[in-house]
Structure 1
Amino acid sequence: MNELTSGHADHGLAARRYQTAARDLEHIVRNIAARYIVQQVPLTWRLLHAIEAEALADLGFASRHDALMLGLFQRPSALPYPETDEPVDFGASNALPAVFAFAVAVYEEAQRDAARAAPRQRPVVRRPRAWGG
């Protein structure tokens, strides 16, 4: 019985450690992506790879989590993605590496915020003036 209870506790601890690392990585990716969003740099495949490399190389992230946990966020080499300047398009896929998913979510959120903040454009109706102006 103790082994069963211990196993559940270990599983729960591992799940919490993973969630903590995922939140940490998401925060790092949000900060990196925000720098590009502020500069209005579109999300391209090349930029997405750069964001991924910078986030996974973050020394703070590496120091807060062990190597096994860090390995869980590495993109498998069997999942090649383009490295071009074309805009990122995953289609309907929702199976993305963690950093890619976080970066895409930040860009989509920024796009929604920009659309909400944009004033409603009303067509300008020019009425003829009597003096011709």
Structure 2
Amino acid sequence: MEGFNGSEFFAVKHRLSFAVSQIVERYRTAGHVLTWRLVHEIEKEAIDALKKAGDLDARYIRMMRSSRWGYVPKVDEPADLEAQEELPEVVSMIQDAYHTLH
């Protein structure tokens, strides 16, 4: 990997946050409860949106994925994100958006 490009990294982070907010708003408006499975779905949609745009470095997009953090369950139980001490960046974005956009 070439040297770290902070501008590119923060561009990915900003665009991911924007994508997450739009996706969360759609699910919240439809009345969906935030479950662990929905966390994964929102993350996948947001990451896919960045990839499809084609103008961001895939290396920095991969850095945002929760799989780099560890195990996040894929179950239909409500996601208790408040109980977690540390969350991957994208999961924190989802949590913040879900609590803000209602």
The TM-score bracket by the shorter chain reads 0.7 to 0.9
- 2:19 paired with 1:28: yes
TM-score (norm 2): 0.83
CA distance in 1, matches of 2:23, 2:89: 14
Cα distance, 1:66 vs. partner?
A: 1.2
- 2:79 paired with 1:55: no
2:77 counterpart residue number? 86
What CA RMSD, in Å, does the superposition of the two structures yield over aligned residues?
Answer: 1.8
Within-5 A mapping of 1:51-130: 51-58=42-49, 59-60=52-53, 63-76=54-67, 79-90=70-81, 91-93=83-85, 95-111=86-102
The 8 Å contact of residues 43 and 90 in structure 2, kept in 1 or not, is answered as: yes
Cα distance, 1:83 vs. partner?
A: 1.1
Cα distance, 1:96 vs. partner?
A: 1.3
Structure 1: where are the runs of 5+ without partners? 1-9, 112-133
TM-score (norm 1): 0.65
Q: Which 4+ runs in 1 deviate beyond 6 A?
A: none
Deviates more, 1:96-105 or 1:22-31: 96-105
Instruction: Return closer, same or farther for 1:25/1:77 CA change in 2, 3 Å cut-off.
Output: closer
Cα distance, 1:85 vs. partner?
A: 1.2
Taking CA–CA contacts closer than 8 Å with sequence separation of 6 or more, which of the two structures ends up with the larger relative contact order? Answer: 2
Amino acid paired to 1:71: R
Instruction: Return closer, same or farther for 1:92/1:45 CA change in 2, 3 Å cut-off.
Output: closer
Cα distance, 1:81 vs. partner?
A: 1.3
CA distance in 2, matches of 1:35, 1:53: 15
Identity of aligned residues (%): 27
Larger Rg: 1
Number of residues of Structure 1 aligned to a counterpart in Structure 2: 97
